[in-house]
């Protein structure tokens, strides 16, 4: 019933906008009139108006963005049964937007909305069960909620189902089913495009096809997916499905590296160290190795350790070099084990 009232408010609101156009109000005047009407209706307790006012504060549309006030109005609408408000309230509790982060409360609001068929909430319940956020971890229940949302064409949930099939979490591992769900989601989801590229790249659930892998990685990379950008760079570097091009490889690695992708940071360091695809610069190589090493990437720790030990691109510091080589060796990095045993174990 409250959802119907919300639509009723929207219809009335649209009639007001039409009247404003007819009687010649300016855009700014229309905006203020609309805001005033929404505020009055929200204060009177109109659930639809409360929801739309919350959206304004959340998005900063016509008012200064204010998550706290957005939360307050979403909560009023949610308590009156507006399902979308309940789902958004769950998201705000989960992210700590306008309220202290609280996974338990997030789960409760998602559950209310999910049980009423809201696919956004259903997908988020799946996420929380898969991670054990605010509830005991349960892959089987995660799978069930993802499936409910996926059946409602929620692309994020379809991608998540693909991940669960590919990893055998909450369901028997099945690469063919994983591929099918990734393919469905890939029409609208960059993560699924990346995952679909990975299936083609590795030949899981489908015949290996580097050309198709490259195409899907490119789609996701153009939407700033760091993993896809790294994968594209690697394919240009290795001449997989495309002519080798170190310049393009470096460009894609740099895009991913700037987003914090550790393997891309390491690869970019190597390209600066060797001069592949552009200028050779040991100082920049050290900087990129450091970024990846700080994330615990053993190959970067090993490369950085050697540069410190030999004084390449940085002042020579054998002690620091050996410490880095030891960290990498402890992760079973073979080159670090060899270097450490030759230079640091005496």
CA distance readout (Å), 94 to 26, 104, 115, 149, 231: 39, 9, 18, 19, 31
Contact of 38 with 77, CB cutoff 8 Å: no
Give percent of the chain with pLDDT exceeding 70: 92
Query: Would you list the domain boundaries of the chain?
Result: 1-103
Banded model confidence at residue 20, pLDDT cuts 50, 70, 90:
very low
Residue 271, classified by CB atoms within 10 Å of its CB into exposed (0-12), middle (13-18) or buried (19+), is: buried
Residue 30 has pLDDT above 80, yes or no: no
- Tens-place pLDDT, residues 142-191: 999 999 999 999 999 999 999 999 999 999 999 999 999 999 999 999 99
DSSP 240-266: SSS---HHHHHHHHHHHHTTT-HHHHH
Q: Residues 197-254: pLDDT tens digits?
A: 999 999 999 999 999 999 999 999 999 999 999 999 999 999 999 999 999 999 999 9
Please tell us whether the domain made up of 1-103 is placed in CATH 1.25.40.10: yes
Query: DSSP alpha helices (H): ranges in the chain?
Result: 2-22, 27-43, 47-59, 67-79, 83-95, 103-114, 119-131, 139-151, 155-167, 175-185, 190-202, 210-221, 226-238, 246-257, 262-274, 282-294, 298-310, 318-329, 334-343
Measured distance CA(65)–CA(314) in Å, rounded: 46
């Amino acid at each position: 019933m409250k959802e119907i009232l919300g639509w009723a408010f929207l219809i009335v609101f649209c009639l007001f906008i039409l009247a404003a156009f007819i009687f010649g109000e300016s855009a700014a005047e229309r905006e203020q009139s609309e805001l005033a009407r929404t505020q009055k209706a929200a204060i009177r307790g109109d659930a639809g108006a409360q929801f739309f006012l919350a959206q304004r504060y959340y998005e900063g549309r016509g008012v200064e963005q204010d998550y706290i006030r957005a939360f307050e109005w979403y909560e009023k609408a949610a308590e009156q049964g507006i399902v979308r408000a309940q789902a958004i309230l769950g998201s705000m509790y989960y992210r700590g937007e306008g309220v202290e982060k609280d996974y338990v409360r997030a789960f409760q609001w998602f559950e209310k909305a999910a049980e009423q068929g809201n696919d956004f909430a259903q997908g988020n319940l799946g996420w929380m069960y898969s991670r054990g956020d605010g509830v005991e971890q349960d892959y089987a229940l995660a799978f069930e909620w993802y499936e409910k949302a996926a059946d409602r064409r929620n692309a994020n949930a379809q991608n998540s189902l693909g991940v669960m099939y590919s990893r055998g979490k909450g369901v028997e591992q099945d690469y063919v089913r994983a591929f099918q769900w990734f393919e469905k989601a890939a029409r609208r989801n960059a993560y699924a495009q990346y995952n679909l590229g990975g299936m083609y790249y590795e030949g899981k659930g489908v015949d290996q096809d580097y050309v198709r892998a490259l195409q899907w990685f490119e789609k996701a990379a153009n939407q700033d997916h760091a993993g896809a950008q790294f994968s594209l760079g690697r394919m240009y570097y290795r001449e997989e499905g495309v002519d080798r091009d170190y310049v393009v490889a470096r460009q894609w690695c740099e895009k991913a590296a700037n987003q914090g992708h550790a393997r891309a940071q390491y690869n970019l360091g190597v390209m600066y160290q060797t001069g592949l695809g552009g200028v050779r610069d040991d100082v920049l190589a050290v900087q990129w190795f450091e970024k990846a090493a700080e994330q615990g990437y053993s190959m970067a720790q090993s490369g950085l350790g050697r540069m410190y030990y030999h004084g390449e691109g940085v002042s020579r510091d054998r002690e620091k070099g050996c410490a880095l080589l030891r960290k990498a060796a402890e992760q079973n990095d073979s080159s670090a084990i060899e270097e450490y045993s030759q230079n640091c174990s005496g």
